[in-house]
Structure 1
Amino acid sequence: MNHLFKGLKMNRRECRGFFMLVIVLVLAMAIPVVYKSLHKQSTLPSDSLVVYPNLNERQPGNRHYAEVDRKDKPYPQRPPKNKATLFYFNPNNLPSAEWRRLGFSDAQIRVIKNYEAKGGRFRKKEDLAKVYSISASAYQRIEPYLIFPDTDEYKARAEKISAEPALSSGWKAKENVYLNLNTADSVELMLLQGIGPVLAQRIVKYRQALGGFYHFSQLEEVYGLPKETYESIGKHVYVDTSDVKKIRINSCALNELATHPYIKYRKAKYLYNYRKEHGKYRDLKSLSPVVPIDTVFLRKIEPYLEF
């Protein structure tokens, strides 16, 4: 070895430097090899493995292993779906709140409202089945509750009802009793189980004060209506929202606002004075700055306002 270095004409100091360089190069090449060897030998504990079959190669013994966290972690929950409440309804111009009550999502409702905004109208049950946002299962769920006042089916029902005599409140409604809460008179309402002359007149009077019902649950607000009566007549009535009378919020008088059961004088005065000071309301959201107005109130009066 000394002869080799002498032949290369290297002194002792240069020889030491050469040996150090060789050692560094050897270590640099050896470390990755050793690391890979140790990594292949390492094994995962059997209780921390989950086995999945290879879906691409369905061969015996072909398995994939994935390390999983042994700590229990809850799965992310999907947002709850709208709880469906079924009731008889005319789908034309039905408020968004009522579509939600039927269990439809905001995305589905937007498609329906866009169709109506372009002049679309549902004339028979099958028209609703053509809306791409309404699945076949959703259509089958609501199909028995669809009402179209202009159809022969509805007119035939109305003729049968009008032929019945006025009956006492103890009478049990027949299956062919099928009333639109926004057009039925007090005599027709008495055909319903538990509805006598007094309650029939109260329903009509409250309906006139509201400007019409926009969903069945508003019947609960009628003074003196028993809960059992409310529950028993649900399948014999429906609400056609096209009969609801709107309040022109940007031109109505103070008295017209004040006489509405949901608004009354105090809120009517705030709404009226705010309009005088700030100009016309653009939409429902523009009513929010009025002091005593909250979101619950806005949702309640939305079906009765026209901008």
Structure 2
Amino acid sequence: MKKSYYTQIAGLGIVLLILLAFKNYSKAESENFPEIKFISENSPVLSLTDFDPNDLNEEQWQHLGFSSKQIATILNYKKMIGGRFISKEQFKKCFAVSAEKYSELETYILLPENNKEAKSNNFKSFEKRTVTISGRFNPDHYSANDWIQMGFSEKQADAILKYKKYLGGSFVSKEKFKECFIISEENFQKMSPYLILPEKTPANFTHYSKNNKYEKTNIQYHLFDPNTLDLEGWKSFGFSDKQSQTIINYRDRNLKGSFKSLEDLQKCFVISAEKFEEMKPFIRLSSAPNNENKIKQQEKTDFSKVDLNAITFKQLIEFGFDEKAAGSMIGFRKKLGGFVNKEQILTTYNIDPELTQKLLATAQLNTSNVQKYTLTEAPEEWLRNHPYFKYSADKIIYYRISNPDDRKIWKYLKLKPEYETRMRLYTK
């Protein structure tokens, strides 16, 4: 009897387990699992225009590619320095702005280069201006002079017009007008009631549809060799300064000085298919004598006798660097007080690594005139301005008051090994 009873209980238990398992399976089968989405590795390309970082709200910082965390850091940093950036130099020091990001934004920032310039009378145009509105107006019809009369600086007026051109020649709506980096939230609120524009962007608006089109008016094409065309020549075909320089850099750096075929020219990303078809009948490719000319030019200077701590801007251009790269290298050298080893030069922004390696293999490096200090003797100004010391300057100055011993100061700083190694290049 007992055996039969336990057998029945066990049987019931097994049946219950099967029913429970079936119920869970049915539930799982009916669950809606989240859809898996793959994130593209290609981040969106930013379309930039001139802006004052003091006038941007959170949404506008996001348009520049900053995350919410980075934006919070930037805004807190701005409060800490008195509520306003006075120079590019000051903006660059915010650690939420990486060196790469600053390099990308630098030319568009409407601020003086450094604090000294900001305090001079030559930069009144960067001060915050009061906008005066006389009545209702259509911003599409405003010229640079109209914007200046309203209260914007000459540079800001130019940037507003560039933004309109970027949109395709019209601000389209108040929504789009508000997105212009130059128009602060405060100024937009003042202007909004007077703007003769629709409140919302039309549904059929093709996003920046005309952005990459070129104006065909007044462009007189003629037979030309893209291997010998200079900056002004490309500009005469309707390209902007930046686009023209990009084409030249693409030719001289990516293609080693010459377009070998029409396909090479067509691959340059700033030349649209439409623009290429316009130019195509006038293109006459040479066998690139340009390279020979460059070699002859470079022979004017014997670079094996040139000191990298004394090489000039003109000599760097002669060697093959573009103006931006040459300026970056000399600017970095000046901030450091001179290079101590050749590897430092390779960390310069905006340079062509391959061309730089060639220069390093050719030229000499004399470090005898590079100024070095102990941590206890280093001038405060030197510590605060030197690229390797400026982030630790306050700590060094604080520690050496009570511990004028370099070994102790190094210990207290608790630096990452790579940072300490760089700093020791400039200490005795």
Whose radius of gyration is greater, 1 or 2?
1
User: Could you say whether these structures have the same fold, taking a TM-score greater than 0.5 normalized by the shorter chain as the test?
Assistant: no
TM-score, normalisation: structure 1: 0.39
Higher relative contact order (CA 8 A, sep 6+): 1
TM-score, normalisation: structure 2: 0.29
